[in-house]
Homo-oligomer: A and B are copies of this chain.
Amino acid sequence: MFYIIGLGLSDEKDVTVRGLEAIKSCARVYLEAYTSILMVQKDRLEAFYGKEIILADRDTVETQSDEILRDADKEDVCLLVVGDPFGATTHTDIVLRARARKIPTRVIHNASIMNAVGASGLQLYNFGQTVSLVFFTETWKPDSFYDRIKENADLGLHTLVLLDIKVKEQSDENLARGRKIYEPPRYMSIPLAVRQLVEIETIRSAGILDPDKTLAIALSRVGGGDEHQRIVAGTLNELLNHPVEAYGEPLHSLVIVGRRLHHLEVEYAEDFAINRNTWRAVAQDVYGCSLD
């Protein structure tokens, strides 16, 4: 059997009981590499599972799936991924390859940011399509996310924005010299994300991302308990000027709040507000929520 097992959002204990049993049954355990950077160290997972773990970066999963799937028709093999196997990034490709080789496959689901974003107090029913925001460079500022946010905003819907990660990047020099030396991983911070959003708003000017009139909620390590989870709510400007440490450890996600905002959503998320007065005032005056 080939298992793809979601590890959830925070640490080694977020795996399900079924997932843990499957891992323990496996002859080989692969871990999608940035997982360990994101959450817990490989050796901590190994100790918890009582198993050796083979790191596999995204490239390996895509290009060396034959090796991962080797003998999976005769013994159990698993691939561990952060969140859910069909969360923000999908693993359909390796499942299709397993199918083609008639290897039985089982997916073990878990929480992903796509549903755990509900922890913000915003109703999942009120979300439109999810978008990704990549690191801008001087010359490359892809802005198709703006059209998607606008489509959602026009319907009054919230938008979950997933922020970029860069892993296994090489410096220009190392790349030129063919040295496989990688830069430390980079995660987009909330202030940077807001800056990029506002930059595109300035260019496109549809008026959907107003620094003082658009509410947003930042999330990291959802479900990780008070020591890890951070949820911060405010206007775009407040989020921009809030100290970067206050957002906790990566990965970060951001929700752009839509106009169909309900007063219960406002009330719940108020607990996460940088400034409760601004939060309520904008919800009332700009979004038209009736609050007590």
Measured CB to CB, the residues of A under 8 A from B are 6, 8-9, 12-18, 20-21, 84-88, 90, 92, 95-96, 99, 104, 106-112, 114-116, 118-119, 121, 123-132, 151, 155, 157, 222-223, 225-226, 264, 267-268, 271
Contact = CB atoms under 8 A, between A and B. Distances in A.
A86 B130 CA distance: 17
- How many identical subunits does the complex contain? 2
Contacts of A92: 121, 264, 268
Given A128-B128, A155-B129, A14 B13 contact: no
A128 B151 CA distance: 10
Given A87-B115, A128-B157, 7 more contacts: A8-B16, A14-B109, A16-B110, A107-B119, A125-B129, A125-B130, A128-B129
Contact of A95 (B15, B131, B268): B268
Contact of A110 (B87, B106, B111, B128): B111
B130 A124 contact: yes
Contacts of A130: 124-125, 127
Nearest to A125: B130
Contacts of A151: 155
Nearest to A93: B264
Given A14-B18, A16-B15, A20-B17, A90 B115 contact: no
